[in-house]
Every structure is written in structure tokens, then in C-alpha cells.
Amino acid sequence: MIGIYRNTFAKVPVLTVVDDSKRDQPLPVFIYFHGFTSAKEHNLPQAYMLAQKGYRVLLPDSAYHGERDEDLAKKELDFKFWDIVYQNLKELQDIKDELDRLDLVEDRRIGVGGTSMGGVTTSAALTMYPWIQASAVMMGSPKPVEFAKRLIDAMEQAGVDLPMNHSEKEDLYKSLAGIDLSMNKDKLLGRPLFFWHGDADPLVPFEHSYDFYNEAIEHYKNPENIRFLREVGRDHKVSRFGMIEMVNWLELVL
């Protein structure tokens, strides 16, 4: 039987989805981050599917989300998008360290994935953590510099009063360049990487992930280790088909 446990890892609220009979055993681990304004519970379907395949799946709540909600106004939360991504990246290492301390990881088999903002986090994490063995980016952008410029441009065109001046914007872009996977393809190291994206996504540009995939595949000696699944006409919502394909692919590589 698959169990769902509410707990914490490194002070981060987490749902752990795992086979009850193997709850205390070392298992391959997959850490999955939710999207902006979402919460850990919204990713239970793919977590359950992965747990059925023998994985221990951790679903963390990002800062200002889920159990960590601080009831911020939407505008205020929008301005914290990149702060949340950076906090995710820090907490990912903290969670990994806690898993190691508890001896819950089998043979260093740890994967990371996420939806939308969680996919942005996943792509950035690949620039930082060589211990990640496989990843799944579900409608996320591996081009955070371009994505940040797009978001800020949209706000400015809408007449939003941004809490940053020109110099601060440039500092943000410079900082994001360090975790921009499209600018750091050497950090891929041939690791298995799965992309799913609907080509009618109005929020996260389909072209960011698709163009990156076409550029990145040249860095793979084994091109089967990187896969892009395009869903025609799909908007900003992961389909059941996309979830199943992600799970089946991960079972082969992690």
C-alpha cells in the first residue's frame, strides 16, 4: 500500500509518498517542486505513480506557499518569485543532506523535478548540484534570464510600479545568469533530463524549453538521455499523459 506522510525535512514541510512496507528503507528518491501559487498536495498524482514504481517521493512546500503561506497579496507574491526559486535551491541541498543523514537514499539515486516554477527550480538546480542523477522539467524555463526579462517587461507594460530600479534589475539578471542552464550547458554532464511542455502555454514560453532541448542535445553522447515531449494545443496545465510519460521515462533512467 502506498502511504502519504506529512512531515518535515530540514524544517521544510513535506509530503512523503512511499510504499508503506519500505518506508524506513533506503530507496531511490525523487524530490518534486510545485508551481507558483500552488502547493505540495497538487502534485500527489505523479508522486503516487512514482511511489508505485518503488520511489520515495518528497513534495516540499515552497516559501510563502501551502503550509508556509503568509497571506501575501498577489502583487507582493509576484515580486518574490525569484526569491522563492533561490530559497528552493537552498532547501533542496538541505533536504538532500537530511536524507543522507537518515540513510534513506539507495545508491545515491536522487532525482529532482517540478512544475512551472518548480521546473525553473529544477533547471537551475542542475547548474549547482552534480549529485542530481536525473531531472524532469514540466513546463518550466531553463532560461531564467530571458524569463525574468519577459516577466518584468510584462509588468512594466501593464503599468506596474516595480520595487526595483534599473541597476537592481541588472543585478538580478547577472545573478540569474549563474543558474541559467542555457548559459551553463557544461553542467548537464550527460545526466538524464526530461521536458514536457504544451505548445499553447500562455505563461511559460514553450520556446524556452524547446529551443534549449535542440541546443542541449548536441552536448549528449547518448541522445536518449534527453527527451522532449511536446503536447500540441496544451496550455499551462500538465496532462495525465505528460505525467505518465514522465514516470515511465524516469523508471528507465533513475
End-to-end CA, the chain? 22
Residue-range domains of the chain with CATH = 2-253 (3.40.50.1820)
pLDDT digits (tens, 9 = 90+) for 38-96: 999 999 999 999 999 999 999 999 999 999 999 998 888 999 999 999 999 999 999 99
| Residue 164 confidence (pLDDT) | 87
> Residue 5 and residue 7: Cα distance in Å, rounded?
6
Is the per-residue pLDDT at 109 higher than 90? yes
CA 83 to chain centre: 15
Within the chain, residue ranges assigned H as helices are 44-52, 74-78, 81-101, 117-126, 144-157, 166-177, 206-216, 240-253
Whole-number pLDDT of residue 156:
86
Q: Which helix (H) or strand (E) holds 222?
A: none
φ, ψ at 216 (rounded to 5°): -75, -30
pLDDT-derived band at 177 (thresholds 50, 70, 90) equals: very high
Question: What is the grid cell recorded at 9?
Answer: 525535512
Cβ–Cβ < 8 Å for 195, 227: yes
Q: State the cell numbers at 64.
A: 510563502
Instruction: Fill in the DSSP letter of residue 147.
Output: H
Helix (H, G, I), strand (E, B) or coil at 82: helix
Cell digits of residue 170: 541588472
- Cell numbers linked to 172: 538580478
For residue 233, is pLDDT > 90? yes
Model pLDDT, residue 211 = 98
Q: What is the pTM of this model?
A: 0.97
**Residue 160 pLDDT:** 83
Using one digit for the tens of pLDDT, what is the confidence trace for 76-92? 899 999 999 999 999 99
Helix axes 240-253, 44-52, angle to 10 degrees: 40
Phi, psi of 138 (to 5 degrees): -100, 105
- The per-residue pLDDT of the chain, averaged, comes to 96
Residues 242/138, Cβ–Cβ less than 8 Å: yes
Task: Assign 158 a pLDDT band (cuts: 50, 70, 90).
Answer: confident
- Residues facing residue 138 across a β-bridge: 115, 196
Contacts of 135 (CB under 8 A, 6+ apart): 111, 112, 113, 122, 123, 125, 126, 191, 192, 193, 194
In this prediction, residue 75 carries a pLDDT of 84
